[in-house]
Amino acid sequence: MSRRSVRLWMSAAAAVLAPVSMLVVAQPAQAAPPSSYCTQYAFDGEFRARGYPSGPTDWEVTFSSTGQFPSGPARVRFSDGGFVDGTVSGGAISGRQVEFTIKWKDKPNNYWRFLGFVGDDGLVTRGDQRRQAEGGYEALWYSERPLACVASTAPELGSKRVDPNAPIGPGDVPR
């Protein structure tokens, strides 16, 4: 093999390996979580909220609902084993704000109002719950499973924004 053919062979090998080595060294871009683009959340089945009051008993509220406006039967279970049934009597999710009210069957006028904010992960953290008749703060609560994102500003996977004023390059010409 002549010196010239060795140089040609090495140049060809370098030309082939250079793009591959760039792929190995390049770090993937860190994309934001899809829910960080979410502009509207909704209930999508069973919803569980766990409360942690300042008193000795914590509780878990469950109900099943779909869409932005919750409704239907609800149950609260207390850590001491007791439970009370009720009905979701109103509320809505507006963007990232969650609000719903539950009327409990154990006493007339026993309404609990829940307020909260949905984080980027779809979970409500540090929501607050109040007894409607008394109006004062009762307990903090958090959701145990994420809400569904039903509207987003995220670009679709594989979508490419087209700038109508951009110059046309060789890759834009159909073949």
Confidence of residue 20 (pLDDT cuts 50, 70, 90): very low
pLDDT surpassing 50 at residue 99? yes
d(CA 109, CA 132): 8
CA 13 to each of CA 4, 19, 70: distance values in angstroms, whole numbers, following the listed order: 14, 11, 64
Task: Count the helices and strands in the chain (H runs, E runs).
Answer: 1, 9
Q: Hey, is 172 helix, strand or coil?
A: helix
Q: Residue 14 pLDDT > 60, yes or no?
A: no
Q: Residue 59's closest CA among 140, 145, 147, 146?
A: 140
pTM here?
A: 0.66
> Which pLDDT band, with edges at 50, 70 and 90, does 26 fall under?
very low
Question: Is pLDDT at 148 greater than 70 in this prediction?
Answer: yes
User: What per-residue confidence (pLDDT) applies to 132?
Assistant: 72
